[in-house]
Amino acid sequence: MNSKRLSLQNRVFLAMLLLVLVASILIAIVMIYQYNEQAEEYNKGRLERKESAIRKHLGVELENTSFIISPKNLKYIFRTQDKIFNISKIHNLELEIYDLQGNFIISSNKDFDQDSILAIDKNILTQLANIPDHRYVEPEEINGKLYQSSYTYLLDDIYKPLGILHLPYLEDNSQQDKELKEVLARLGIGFLLIFLIGFALAYFISSYITRSLKTVSDKMSETRLNKRNEKIVLNDASQEIYNLVDSYNSMVDDLEESAVKLAQNEREEAWREMAKQVAHEIKNPLTPMRLTVQNFERKFDPTDPNVIIKLKEYSKTIIQQIDVMSSIASAFSDFAKMPTQKREKINLVEVVKHATEIFTESYISFHTSAEIIQANLDKMQITRVITNLLKNATQAVEEVKTPTIEVKVVEENLNVIITVADNGKGMSDEVKEKIFEPKFTTKSSGMGLGLPMVKNIIQAYDGTISFTTQDMQGTVFKIVLPKE
């Protein structure tokens, strides 16, 4: 059954049943969690009490011993008259004593083979020494049973460490588990009764709620924007349904007037969007034209023997950008043909290098795998793409102490790859998701049409554009274009 086609009655009915079911499950989960927490707290507290009592008992034995109290004599002190076995029996807990280097000394378990007992792990010794209260507890599994192994220092009468006391405490939760099963069984019976009652109530309430809505929905399904719609007349319904009917009837009265205004607003919005795109696209070639003129003013020398050649280069650049503006105007005159796709065999290396040289920043570098890489593309459109990416890159490195922008052109089988990499501020995750969306921008000025237009140009030539970025480390744009 398709859940999207369920009636409102069925949705209300299922939602109420689901609410009862989820509430029952949550109560059971909370109860299980509470029981587990209580069991954990109980075992933790019991281990601490056992450990405290055993340490006091060991302290009493140390005070009453006739041996010199030292780490070497611990074995003899507690083995005399089976003291360690008596302590273990009194407190109902096995205990082991190690020296300060973690080597085994004595155990209350008579069956232990001294030679088979491993020394305390060095990591545990380190933890024990660094913890302020010199007490370390680690969970261990022995013979399929879960133990909490406690390690603590055994101190003499001046609180100097003599050895390490190890208590393997078995967590016995059988009684708590039994009680939990009994409680859950009782809850299961209660939940079943609640579910049956909820089933009946859900069916009754869903039928009552949707009875009048059926009439309203039938009328609303017949409503059309381009025809005169009838109002709804309902005699027996709740106050909420009456409010819904009144709202619908008011909507019908305003529908015709709204339809006319909507059509007018859509036309106006379309022209506004078109005007924004025209302004943005014309602004793009103006930037390199401005840079070229500034470069010309700064470097022009009438006495230079190559002045005519340089003048032609500057003029060629300006004319090229004027041609771009002319092509934009021609494209928008056809209303939806921006950018116009044009193909001619060009040396992509020369085109990209020329677009790079428009920018006078010394930190912009250009690299290529070959001096000539031919491709069937539009020279002006590629210039617009590189100019736009470089403009964004220069803005990204404005706050970098040692900015770097690298432009590369390489061949790869039947494709040509152009990359523009900077070491700027990078992009956040939010910006990455919207970077190619029209009208999205992170700048205080601009309309956010540059990168979407770049993407349209690349896709028009069956190419792809992608990027990788790291916050405060930089961004790399990668363009892949077929040569044919």
Query: Rounded to whole angstroms, how far apart are CA atoms 44 and 147?
Result: 11
Report the run of H or E that residue 251 belongs to, with start and end: helix 239-299
Which residues is 412 bridged to in the sheet? Answer: 415
CB 381, CB 457: distance < 8 Å: yes
Per-residue pLDDT of the chain (484 residues; tens, 9 = 90+): 444 566 666 777 787 778 878 887 888 888 778 777 877 777 788 888 888 888 888 888 888 887 888 888 888 888 776 788 888 888 888 888 888 888 888 888 776 655 556 788 888 888 888 888 888 888 877 676 777 888 998 888 788 888 888 888 776 666 666 777 777 777 778 778 877 887 777 777 777 666 666 666 666 666 665 556 666 666 666 666 667 777 777 777 777 666 667 656 666 665 666 667 667 667 777 777 777 777 777 777 777 777 778 777 777 877 777 777 776 665 555 434 445 567 889 999 999 999 898 888 889 999 998 899 999 998 888 998 999 899 889 988 988 889 999 999 999 888 999 999 999 988 888 788 778 776 555 554 444 557 888 888 888 888 999 999 988 889 999 999 998 8
> Is 201 contained in some domain?
no
DSSP line for 373-437: -EEEE-HHHHHHHHHHHHHHHHHHTTT-SS--EEEEEEEETTEEEEEEEE-S----HHHHHHTTS
> Is 64 contained in some domain?
yes
Domain boundary among 176, 206, 229: 176
Q: How far is CA 360 from CA 182, 248, 385, in A?
A: 82, 64, 18
- What's 142's domain CATH number? 3.30.450.20
465: Cβ–Cβ under 8 A, 6 or more apart, which residues? Answer: 454, 455, 458, 459, 477, 478, 479, 480
Tokens of 197: 């009652």
pLDDT tens readout for residues 365-401? 999 988 999 999 988 889 989 998 998 899 889 888 8
> Is 61 contained in some domain?
yes
pLDDT tens readout for residues 101-135? 888 888 887 766 555 567 888 888 888 888 888 88
φ, ψ (nearest 5 deg) of residue 321: -70, -35
Query: Rounded to whole angstroms, how far apart are CA atoms 134 and 154?
Result: 10
Q: How far is CA 456 from CA 118, 238, 239, 279, 452, in A?
A: 70, 54, 54, 17, 6
DSSP line for 10-30: HHHHHHHHHHHHHHHHHHHHH
Beta pairing, strands 474-482 & 415-422: antiparallel
Query: Rounded to whole angstroms, how far apart are CA atoms 448 and 452?
Result: 8
Domain boundary among 176, 200, 215: 176
Quick one: pLDDT at residue 306?
76
Closest among 86, 185, 109, 169 to 135, alpha carbons compared:
169
Query: Rounded to whole angstroms, how far apart are CA atoms 405 and 363?
Result: 6
pLDDT tens readout for residues 265-293? 666 665 666 667 667 667 777 777 777 77
Can you give the residue range of the structural domain that contains 386?
Answer: 343-482
Domain boundary among 126, 156, 176: 176
Which residues is 164 bridged to in the sheet? Answer: 98, 153
Query: Rounded to whole angstroms, how far apart are CA atoms 82 and 70?
Result: 19
> Is 213 contained in some domain?
no
Which is it for the CA torsion 100, 105, 110, 113, positive or negative?
positive
Q: How many helices (H) and strands (E) does the chain have?
A: 11, 12
Quick one: pLDDT at residue 334?
41
> Is 328 contained in some domain?
no
- ω into 403 cis (within 30 of 0): no
> Is 267 contained in some domain?
no
Query: Rounded to whole angstroms, how far apart are CA atoms 137 and 140?
Result: 10
CB 77, CB 69: distance < 8 Å: yes
> Is 292 contained in some domain?
no
Query: Rounded to whole angstroms, how far apart are CA atoms 297 and 459?
Result: 38
Tokens of 357: 């040289």
How many other CB atoms sit within 10 Å of the CB of residue 7? 13
CB 318, CB 292: distance < 8 Å: yes
Query: Rounded to whole angstroms, how far apart are CA atoms 456 and 479?
Result: 12
SS (HEC) of 201-229: HHHHHHHHHHHHHHHHHHHHHCCCCCCCC
- What's 418's domain CATH number? 3.30.565.10
CB 329, CB 296: distance < 8 Å: no
- Nearest-Å Rg of the Cα atoms of the chain is 41
The number of distinct structural domains making up the chain is 2
> Is 241 contained in some domain?
no
Query: Rounded to whole angstroms, how far apart are CA atoms 233 and 242?
Result: 9
Quick one: pLDDT at residue 150?
86
Query: Rounded to whole angstroms, how far apart are CA atoms 467 and 146?
Result: 52
Quick one: pLDDT at residue 73?
81
